[in-house]
């Protein structure tokens, strides 16, 4: 990222959901934060955001080696169905391939959790790790479970993977160039598909409740700045992020004594506590803890 900014001459670079993934890498946030601080001290603007959870979420098929993905989804499924390819996949994962982010080599199946699966055959195991599923379903080993789920679900399964360390999370969070981000998307108020990552529901309340009020890792004014004016400034949104005359009225009213996330990996669809009001573009969209089914939001673009 630093090299790209230096060579391109652009105004700066931003690292999305910075984290240290895989046990072999734990502790390297000491180096990454130092690199970012040194770059900024030399006039190279580098910032980053982070979600405050130790699991990431992505498609289960990302555990497969790069060659399996070549040719698209249909090709992937055909390859995975062949026993000789399954053996090659196992070997590549165990041995590693150069320049490939090999999640399973550095972690294990007991840290990979199935969160969303379309196949009715596997609906009852959502939220459980592959190792747990192997025992529940009486499979020979975790590899058999892994390949069967991929095939039965047409490689559409979503997983979370517990790959991060709390020390790195806290260190990254305290960094001077840190902002808060969810790495999530908007979801239905009554979802019918699987278990979403709790970051979709609880990222900002978790920062304010756990890391500000309970652990005092951040002070509340600075935490709010990392959620509002700092990212707005970084994105060039000059009419957002602050409460003052002439700014758009995007306001979250929360109780600092009670705000907390309630979403979990096992039971994610719970809204946070302690946020009685939300105002978007001057319109109240949450009132007395209840959504009003009003949609005054709009796409924001950086001014030319």
pTM: 0.91
Average pLDDT on 28-46 reads 97
User: What are the φ and ψ backbone dihedral angles of 45, each rounded to 5 degrees?
Assistant: -80, 110
- Looking at residue 194, what is its pLDDT? 81
pLDDT band at 91 (very low <50, low <70, confident <90, very high): very high
| 187 pLDDT higher than 90 | no
Mean pLDDT, rounded, of the chain: 95
Structural domains in the chain, CATH included, are 2-54+165-242 (3.20.20.140), 56-162 (no CATH)
pLDDT band at 93 (very low <50, low <70, confident <90, very high): very high
Q: Tens of pLDDT along 1-23? A: 999 999 999 999 999 999 999 88
pLDDT band at 282 (very low <50, low <70, confident <90, very high): very high
In the chain, % of residues over pLDDT 70: 100
Average pLDDT on 177-203 reads 88
pLDDT band at 190 (very low <50, low <70, confident <90, very high): confident
Q: Tens of pLDDT along 117-132? A: 999 999 999 999 999 9
Query: What DSSP letter does each residue of 152-191 carry, written as one string?
Result: HTTT--EEEEE---HHHHHHHHHSTTEEE--------SS-
């Amino acid at each position: 990222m630093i090299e790209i900014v230096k060579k391109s001459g652009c105004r700066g670079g931003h690292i999305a959901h910075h984290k240290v993934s895989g046990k072999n890498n734990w502790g390297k946030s000491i180096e990454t934060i130092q690199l970012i601080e040194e770059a900024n001290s030399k006039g190279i603007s580098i910032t980053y955001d982070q979600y405050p959870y130790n699991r990431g979420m992505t498609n289960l098929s990302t555990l497969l080696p790069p060659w399996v993905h070549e040719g698209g989804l249909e090709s992937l499924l055909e390859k995975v169905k062949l026993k000789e390819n399954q053996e090659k996949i196992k070997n590549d994962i165990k041995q590693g391939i150069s320049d490939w982010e090999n999640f399973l080599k550095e972690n294990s199946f007991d840290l990979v959790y199935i969160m969303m699966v379309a196949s009715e055959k596997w609906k009852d195991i959502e939220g459980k790790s592959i190792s747990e599923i192997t025992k529940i379903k009486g499979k020979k080993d975790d590899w058999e479970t892994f390949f069967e789920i991929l095939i039965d679900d047409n490689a559409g399964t979503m997983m979370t993977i517990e790959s991060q360390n709390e020390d790195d999370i806290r260190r990254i969070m305290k960094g001077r160039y840190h902002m808060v981000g969810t790495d999530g998307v908007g979801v239905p108020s009554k979802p019918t598909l699987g278990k979403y990552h709790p970051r979709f529901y609880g990222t900002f309340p978790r920062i304010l409740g756990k890391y500000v009020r309970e652990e005092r890792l951040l002070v509340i004014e600075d935490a709010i700045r990392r959620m509002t004016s700092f990212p707005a400034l970084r994105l060039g949104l000059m009419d957002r992020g602050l409460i003052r005359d002439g700014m758009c009225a995007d306001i979250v009213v929360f109780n600092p004594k009670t705000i907390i996330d309630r979403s979990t990996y096992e039971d994610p669809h719970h809204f946070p506590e302690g946020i009685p009001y939300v105002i978007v573009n001057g319109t109240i969209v949450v009132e007395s803890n209840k959504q009003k089914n009003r949609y005054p939001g709009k796409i924001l673009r950086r001014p030319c």
